[in-house]
Amino acid sequence: MKLTGTQVRWFRLRRSGLAEPFSSPEEAARSLVGVQAQILPAAGLALWNRTRGLTYADFDDRLHVQRSLVKLWGQRGTLHVYASDEWPLLIGAMVGRHSWWERQIVRAGTDPDDYQATLDHVAELLRQRGTMNRSDLRASGLDLDEACFNPWGGIFADLVRRGVACHAGQAGNEKLFAHREYWLPDLAWNPPLADEANIELARRYLRAYGPATLRDLTHWRGALVGNARRCIAELGDEVVEVSVSGQPMLALRADLDALNEKPPARREWPVRMLYRFDPLLLGIKDRSWLMEPRYYKRVSRPAGHIEGTLLEHGRVVGTWRYNHADSGLAITVYPFVSLPRPVRKAVEENAAGVAQFFGLPLNDLVMDGV
């Protein structure tokens, strides 16, 4: 099947929930295999963009009170928010993979068996207490390497990767972690075998972000090419090769009819203000389908940061940021080109929606250079 870039953009927008909203934040997180949450409000805005009427207070409630969403270290070793019932699947996919923190501690001279024993001790302590922060861990009396307390992960990151713990909000100025049995006592804990879990994630990836290449799947997962190739091979006839503007890519056979649909007229495409680290920008390694290469450095910033982006006709046409204060929200949009009147109107509506998400008035909206 030969597909145009426009067909693929429309398909990805639909599967991402940007053209056809999901019924709930949980469904959105499940369909996208999580949303990146290095910046927690960014995860909330990613879900707001894909559902109807979500507020930050509701997002926080689902994460920390209802606990239908859970915050974990996931693909690429980064923080993500997932549907809570997906927790076993994600842990199954990580079995046998050693984290950066574990490798550092072992490289510093700690015996791997000793480190595993330490993990078991901390896990038991967390199970007894229910929740802990790093200060609690320091006060526990356990003899731990300083790397275990690193605020970017440390030993808690390894407990999360083993399915023992999850993020549980803040305790003062410190991150709080909870034992799985305390946080979600009714969750059926049945992680699939690693191969089964990784094959399922490859299937989910193609359904949400395809058509894609092996390189794209490897980039999204933070995995080895060989592992991605094996997962695709195991999917067998479920996967077919398609041509996207002359480039061979992989897609699910079940998606061919949807891929081949004629996209709507340009005026019917949604205008979206996607915030930082949005899933749409993280799914495919080569972002030329989203923007011209000359704009890459305005979107991809130093240290791996991804700016908030303005999306029109499935393409990035600018970036944006907000300033949050108790008195209200101020938003500045930085277009790459002059925006037509209908797009400016849509930006105004989007900006008002962002303010409503935070439960604040929109004090200022500046479209810089327009």
Q: Which whole number is the average pLDDT over 277-293?
A: 95
Percentage of residues of the chain with pLDDT beyond 90: 82
Residue 181 lies in a domain: no
The answer to whether the CB of 69 falls within 8 A of the CB of 63 is yes
Average pLDDT, integer, range 249-259: 98
Position 299 in a domain = yes
**pLDDT value for 103:** 77
* 17 domain-assigned: no
Distance (Å, rounded) from C-alpha 291 to C-alpha 243?
A: 20
Amino acid at site 336: F
The mean pLDDT value for 50-69 works out to 98
User: Other C-beta atoms within 10 Å of 323: how many?
Assistant: 11
Which residue bears the tokens 């699939």?
Answer: 192
User: Given the DSSP bridges, would you call strands 239-244 and 2-3 parallel, antiparallel or unpaired?
Assistant: parallel
Beta strand ranges found along the chain (DSSP E): 2-3, 35-36, 69-73, 79-83, 131-132, 165-171, 174-179, 239-244, 247-252, 272-274, 308-312, 315-325, 328-335, 362-367
**Element containing residue 58 per DSSP (H, E):** helix 56-64
Q: Is the pLDDT of residue 148 over 90?
A: no
Q: Is the peptide bond before 25 cis (omega within 30 degrees of 0)?
A: no
Which pLDDT does position 326 carry in this prediction? Answer: 84
User: Inter-axis angle of helices 225-235 and 194-209, to 10 degrees?
Assistant: 80
Name the β-bridge partners of 321: 332
With respect to residue 87, please indicate whether it lies within any of the assigned structural domains.
no
Compute φ and ψ for 318, nearest 5 degrees: 170, 175
Is 356 a member of any domain? yes
Q: Which stretch of 44-53, 102-111, 268-277 has the lowest confidence by average pLDDT?
A: 102-111
pLDDT at position 172, please? 84
What average pLDDT does range 153-182 have in this prediction?
Answer: 93
List, for residues 202-220, the tens digit of each pLDDT value.
999 999 999 999 999 999 9
Domain of residue 301: give its range: 266-367
Q: Are 3 and 244 in contact (CB under 8 A)?
A: yes
Phi and psi at 111, nearest 5°, equal: -65, 135
Q: 197 and 209 in contact (C-beta within 8 Å)?
A: no
pLDDT per residue over 308-338, tens digit each?
999 999 999 999 999 988 889 999 999 999 9
Query: Does residue 73 belong to any structural domain of this protein?
Result: no
Task: List the one residue out of 62, 8, 34 whose CA is nearest residue 220.
Answer: 34
Number of domains in the chain: 1
Lowest mean pLDDT among 13-17, 104-108, 165-169, 343-347: 104-108
Exposed, middle or buried by CB within 10 Å (0-12, 13-18, 19+), for 341?
A: exposed
Q: Does the structure show a pLDDT above 60 at 44?
A: yes
**Residue 370 in this model has a pLDDT that exceeds 70:** no
Question: Does residue 187 surpass a pLDDT of 60?
Answer: yes
Return d(Cα 191, Cα 180) in angstroms, integer: 13
Q: How confident is the model at residue 250 (pLDDT cuts 50, 70, 90)?
A: very high
Whether 63 maps to a domain, the answer reads: no
Q: pLDDT grade, residue 369 (50/70/90)?
A: low
On the 0-12 / 13-18 / 19+ scale of CB atoms within 10 A, 178 is: buried
- Give the residue from 97, 119, 100, 117 showing the smallest Cα distance to 108: 100
